[in-house]
Amino acid sequence: MSSRLLARTILIGIITAVISTGCHHGNGVVASHQPTGPGSETSVQGIGGPGESGVGARPLVGGEGLPEHGQFPAVLFDYDSARIRPSEESKLEAVAAYLKANPGKLIIEGHCDERGTAEYNRALGERRAIAARDELVKLGADTSRMSTISYGKDRPVDPGHDEAAWAKNRRCEFVVVGQ
């Protein structure tokens, strides 16, 4: 990514995050994530006092409000499984084709239904996102343009408590940033 494009990505990110505070996913602050180990974090906002909002602040549920989330259909999974079903292959082919033809980075979100415990589902959601990423690499996508996020069971797309809802919630979503 050129430095101009990176700067634009960050700018869009900040604007998106500020605008989306209080509504749906603000998925713009990706560029600030550094793949590093420990670091100092001086922010003490919120400790013992009310009210911090701003970049990085996002509500829990939702995702259908911004065009980025609806751009590609979600890839669905079987219960307690991170295997890509043959039926979902064509969805990944479309994502891979888009990445080849367009600039930008891809965030792959892994999600689970509510029938697993919290931390186990965080690992399962990550395995789903990684499975989708690895499949996209096989289809020719550049791994350095992709990041994974597991939300476990914290962001269901369907708030229901039946098999129909669970089937929709066991998914990977794809978000393009910096296009």
Partner 1 sequence: MERLWTMLIRTMVCLPLLSGLAAGVDAQVDVVKGRHSFGVSGFSGDAAIAGQVTDVLKNDLRLSGYFALAPVGSAEYVQSGTVRGDRNGIVVECIVMQQATKRVALSKAYQGSAQDVRRVVHKLSDEIVQAIAGQRGIAETKVAFVWAHNGAKELAVMDYDGYNVRQLTYDRSISVRPRWSPDGRKVVYTSYKNVFPDVLEVDLYTGQRRRLASYPGLNSGAAFSPDGLSIALTLSKDGNPELYTMNAEGTDLRRLTHTHAGESSPTWSPDGQTIAYVSDESGVPQIWQINRDGGSPLRLTVSPSYNTEPDWSRPPANSDMKPMLAVTSRVAGKFQIGVYEKGSGVVTPVVADGTDNEDPSWAPDGRHLIFTKTVHWHSQLYLLDVVTGEQVQLPSLEGGASEPAWGP
Q: List interacting residues with partner 1 (CB under 8 A).
A: 21, 27, 29-30, 32-53, 56-61, 80, 82, 115-120, 122-124, 126-127, 129-130, 134, 147-151, 154, 161
Q: Which is nearer to partner 1, 93 or 154 (CB)?
A: 154
Q: CA-CA distance, 15 to 9, in Å (whole number)?
A: 10
Q: CA-CA distance, 40 to 138, in Å (whole number)?
A: 37
Cβ 35 to partner 1, closest distance in Å?
5
Q: Which is nearer to partner 1, 79 or 90 (CB)?
A: 79
Cβ 167 to partner 1, closest distance in Å?
16
Residue 148 CB neighbour total at 10 angstroms: 19
Residue 66 CB neighbour total at 10 angstroms: 19
Give the dihedral sign, CA 77/121/61/8: negative
Q: Which is nearer to partner 1, 61 or 97 (CB)?
A: 61
Q: Which is nearer to partner 1, 16 or 72 (CB)?
A: 16
Please report, for residues 38, 87, 98, 177, the alpha-carbon distance to residue 102 in angstroms, rounded to integers and kept in the order given.
34, 25, 6, 11
Q: Decide: residue 130, CB within 10 A, 0-12 exposed, 13-18 middle, 19+ buried.
A: middle
Cβ 81 to partner 1, closest distance in Å?
10
Q: Which is nearer to partner 1, 32 or 102 (CB)?
A: 32
Cβ 89 to partner 1, closest distance in Å?
20
Cβ 119 to partner 1, closest distance in Å?
5
